[in-house]
Amino acid sequence: MHKTPAHIVPRSPPPLALYQFRNSKLLRLTPRVIMDGFGTDSEGRQFKNAEEMWREQVGDADPLKKSQWYSDGVGYWQGVEATVDGVLGGYAHVNEPDIKGSEAFFNTILAEKFPDISTGRRLVALDCGSGIGRVSKNLLIRYFNEVDLLEPVSHFLDAARINLAPENLMVTEDYKAVNFFCVPLQEFTPEPKRYDVIWVQWCIGHLSDDDFVSFFKRAKVKRSYLKKL
């Protein structure tokens, strides 16, 4: 699922800021308390809060507006280079502390959620909005025997296939990337009971509210633990 033309939260957003770019127009929404905030776009148009921005950009039950929202977002990222700096919006220096923070988070739930991991249980993860495989390569592949990647931008996924090729990994053959799905998050249904963890980092904010809820319902399977950032 982190995108300039039609997405709300870039892959590397500054704190307490929501951005959305549509046709070279930047929208900036600065929340005061959670989502109760105000903002303006690059043309000076004001939004009272995030809900007003969503209504303007996605519409109320307007499939054409919503479709344009998603296609514009993917269209922007199709013009971004498939590098760490590219997918992090020019903030490549965030990569290392981000991975460390994510690993610290994962370790807090590892023993609780997977007490039998020491017995040799095999784990499978889904990396949503995987981009070039940045999180999969630097974190997930070290803990999960199989990692599937989900990304709607084809040249990002092509780069991920290279980055996660066995010869480019510092793990044993028991850990590998298996499937590379070039599908938008709002259209994807996880295979039931396949995943132990569904990792959603810096991309869930691109979904409209109803698609957000719908994805979580589809992803709610007995064995899975979802991580959202």
Residue 12 forms part of a structural domain: no
Range of the domain at 40: 18-83
**pLDDT value at 20 more than 90:** no
Residue 157 forms part of a structural domain: yes
**pLDDT value at 1 more than 90:** no
- Residue range 75-119, pLDDT digits in tens: 999 999 999 999 999 999 999 999 999 999 999 888 888 887 777
Residue 32 forms part of a structural domain: yes
Residue 6 forms part of a structural domain: no
Same domain, 207 and 109: yes
Residue 4 forms part of a structural domain: no
- CB atoms under 10 Å from CB of 40, counted, come to 14
**End position of a domain, from candidates 54, 83, 112:** 83
Residue type at 48 in one-letter notation: K
Same domain, 138 and 219: yes
Supply 33's token pair. 């308390």
Lowest mean pLDDT segment, chosen from 4-8, 48-52, 187-191, 215-219: 4-8
Residue 3 forms part of a structural domain: no
Same domain, 196 and 106: yes
Residue 130 forms part of a structural domain: yes
Same domain, 69 and 126: no
- Give me the mean pLDDT over the 144-159 stretch: 97
DSSP SS3 for 223: coil
Same domain, 103 and 212: yes
- CB atoms under 10 Å from CB of 118, counted, come to 8
Q: Mean pLDDT score of the chain, rounded to an integer?
A: 81
**133/125 Cα distance (integer angstroms):** 13
Same domain, 99 and 62: no
Lowest mean pLDDT segment, chosen from 22-26, 36-40, 209-213: 22-26
Same domain, 117 and 195: yes
**198/218 Cα distance (integer angstroms):** 11
Lowest mean pLDDT segment, chosen from 163-177, 182-196, 199-213: 199-213
Q: What is the pLDDT of residue 5?
A: 34
Q: Which residue has the higher pLDDT, 126 or 201?
A: 126
Share of the chain above pLDDT 90, in %: 53
If you search the block for the tokens 């303007």, which residue do you land on? 56
Same domain, 58 and 103: no
Give the DSSP letter of residue 202: S
| Residue from 118, 148, 121 nearest 219 by CA | 148
Same domain, 101 and 203: yes
CATH of the domain at 220: 3.40.50.150
Q: What is the pLDDT of residue 59?
A: 77
Q: What is the pLDDT of residue 221?
A: 57
Q: What is the pLDDT of residue 225?
A: 54
Same domain, 103 and 216: yes
Q: What is the pLDDT of residue 139?
A: 97
Number of independent structural domains in the chain: 2
Same domain, 191 and 101: yes
- pTM as predicted: 0.79
Same domain, 68 and 100: no
Residues in contact with 114: Cβ distance below 8 Å, sequence separation at least 6, in sequence order: 121, 123, 196
Residue 201 forms part of a structural domain: yes
**End position of a domain, from candidates 83, 101, 136:** 83
pLDDT band at 42 (very low <50, low <70, confident <90, very high): low
